[in-house]
């Protein structure tokens, strides 16, 4: 089956690249992935998977940071205009994007789950001749939106794995669940799929990422260590506007409260027990030069190597935000819009991954462990699987990175698509025959 898998992937490779390029041109932000979800769903339906969308895919109340109504409606209209059928939109509307697909071989065997994230970022894509998507004319068609983290590649790999599963169905046993997760960015979507129970009886869970560390194509890592727990907060200060020349004393300055918060957050002491982070990524305040600002808005995040460290960062951040508000006598609203947990991959999966991937012609080198320092909301899914005794890992798929993740010139070598598919395919084979 090793050679059969590898040559199937060889044949599928042009299709993997074209899926990736189509998705790259139509980036959609978290909980607005209507067209992406439909594109994936249509393909999986054709293959014979059972498809679950809308409130059957994500638990409505467990979604973090759902976009405001006007953004949802704009994306919904656009999706309808671009050919997503009304009956799909009826189920997905209101930001219930993403999809779960299941395949039951009806033969005794383990339940394997695979997770692929599908959302894009609010970034204006580079238009330089050395940026390959631009040079090859498949860059984003939507100004200000971009697949700048490789989730277009992840979705394409997921489609490839679904094709492979359907093609080799006679040789497989057990059950497969494919989770095409919305809103990974900001740690907003995984909990909503987890809370619906998709991971409840999963024996093995696999997810992973293209890039992260710049490694040669053909290199994979079986497990990762170092993902941080994180919390995402939106903070809104409300004060009182007033004439800045005639009656400044009547104003209550929300801009200064926001600015004080921004500088003081960076003064939270480091934690002796491990790595921590804090960042203010956005600050918008005020209305004009001669007006005491009555509004201030911040998007912030904290991270920590462990849950207690992140809790410490979050508590300190809250204290600073509230103290800044009281210093300037303005009111403040703190909205919790996303979180991730820490990840502990099962090292017990390393030998299985090594054994089953090392004979693939697509994979040259397997690092047992890679160290990373981002955050991943797949953590919710992994922890749910591990909580009932299942095993879980988060792999890396090496590619050269011309630019950092989340930057306008981000791109990856498309040769990584068949490599990552091979890794999933061979762990599927391995997990399946245990």
Task: Give me the residue whose beta carbon is nearest to Zn ion.
Answer: 149
CB 216, min distance to Zn ion, A: 20
Within 8 A by CB and 6+ apart from 164, the residues are 5, 8, 9, 12, 421, 425, 428
CB 147, min distance to Zn ion, A: 10
Q: Which of residues 315-354 bind Zn ion (CB under 5 A)?
A: none
With beta carbons less than 8 A apart as the criterion, state whether 144 and 30 touch.
no
Task: Please report, to the nearest 10 degrees, the dihedral formed by the alpha carbons of residues 42, 5, 190, 33 taken in order.
Answer: -30
Q: Point out which span in 143-151, 261-269, 275-283, 364-372 binds Zn ion (CB under 5 A).
A: 143-151
**Which residue, 149 or 392, has its beta carbon nearer to Zn ion?**
149
**Which residue, 147 or 426, has its beta carbon nearer to Zn ion?**
147
Number of residues that bind Zn ion (CB under 5 A): 1
CA separation for the pair 119, 192 (Å, rounded):
15
With beta carbons less than 8 A apart as the criterion, state whether 55 and 96 touch.
yes
Q: Point out which span in 146-154, 225-233, 248-256, 325-333 binds Zn ion (CB under 5 A).
A: 146-154
What spatial distance separates the first Cα and last Cα of the chain, rounded to whole Å? 15
CB 285, min distance to Zn ion, A: 30
Q: Point out which span in 69-77, 139-147, 149-157, 160-168 binds Zn ion (CB under 5 A).
A: 149-157
CB 24, min distance to Zn ion, A: 14
Within 8 A by CB and 6+ apart from 139, the residues are 24, 25, 125, 126, 127, 131, 133
Within 8 A by CB and 6+ apart from 3, the residues are none
**Which residue, 203 or 413, has its beta carbon nearer to Zn ion?**
413
SS3 of 55, please?
helix
Picking from 377, 339, 306, 334, the residue whose alpha carbon sits closest to that of residue 232 is 339
Q: Point out which span in 85-93, 100-108, 142-150, 325-333 binds Zn ion (CB under 5 A).
A: 142-150
CB 152, min distance to Zn ion, A: 11
Output helix, strand, coil percentages for the chain, rounded to the nearest 5: 40, 25, 40
CB 241, min distance to Zn ion, A: 40
User: Exactly one of 58, 146, 149, 199 binds Zn ion (CB under 5 A); which one?
Assistant: 149
**Which residue, 149 or 280, has its beta carbon nearer to Zn ion?**
149
Which chain residues interact with Zn ion by CB under 5 A?
149
């Amino acid at each position: 089956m090793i050679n059969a898998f590898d040559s199937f992937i060889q044949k599928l490779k042009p299709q993997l690249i074209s899926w990736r390029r189509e998705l790259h041109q139509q980036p959609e932000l978290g909980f607005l992935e209507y067209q992406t979800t439909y594109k994936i769903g249509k393909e999986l339906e054709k293959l014979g998977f059972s498809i679950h969308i809308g409130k059957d895919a994500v638990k409505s109340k467990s979604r973090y940071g759902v976009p405001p109504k006007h953004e949802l409606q704009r994306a919904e209209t656009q999706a309808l205009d671009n050919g997503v059928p009304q009956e799909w939109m009826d189920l997905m509307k209101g930001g219930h994007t993403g999809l779960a697909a299941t395949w039951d071989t009806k033969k005794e065997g383990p339940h394997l789950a695979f997770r692929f994230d599908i959302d894009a970022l609010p970034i204006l894509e580079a238009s330089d001749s050395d940026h390959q998507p631009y040079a090859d004319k498949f860059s984003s068609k939507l100004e200000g939106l971009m697949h700048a983290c490789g989730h277009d590649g992840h979705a394409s790999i997921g489609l490839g794995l679904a094709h492979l599963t359907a093609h080799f169905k006679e040789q497989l046993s057990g059950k497969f669940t494919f989770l095409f997760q919305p809103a990974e960015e900001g740690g907003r979507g995984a909990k909503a799929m987890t809370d619906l129970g998709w991971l409840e009886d999963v024996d093995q869970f696999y997810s992973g990422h293209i890039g992260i560390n710049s490694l040669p194509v053909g290199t994979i890592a079986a497990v990762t260590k170092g993902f941080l727990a994180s919390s995402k907060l939106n903070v809104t200060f409300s004060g009182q506007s007033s004439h800045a020349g005639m009656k400044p004393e009547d104003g209550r300055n929300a801009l200064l409260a926001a600015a004080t918060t921004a500088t003081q957050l960076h003064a939270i002491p480091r934690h002796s027990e491990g790595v921590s982070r804090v960042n203010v990524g956005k600050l918008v305040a005020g209305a004009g030069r001669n007006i005491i600002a009555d509004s201030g808005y911040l998007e912030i995040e904290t991270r920590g190597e462990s849950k207690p460290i992140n809790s410490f960062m979050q508590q300190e951040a809250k204290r600073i935000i509230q103290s800044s508000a009281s210093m300037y006598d303005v009111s403040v609203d703190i909205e919790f819009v996303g979180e991730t947990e820490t990840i502990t991959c099962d090292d017990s999966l390393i030998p299985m991954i090594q054994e089953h991937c090392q004979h693939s012609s697509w994979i040259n080198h397997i690092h047992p462990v890679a160290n990373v320092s981002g955050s991943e909301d797949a953590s919710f899914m992994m922890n749910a699987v591990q909580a009932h005794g299942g095993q879980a890992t988060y792999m890396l798929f090496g590619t050269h990175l011309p630019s950092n993740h989340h930057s306008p010139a981000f791109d990856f070598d498309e040769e990584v698509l068949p490599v990552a598919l091979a890794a999933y395919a061979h762990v599927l084979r391995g997990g399946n025959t245990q």
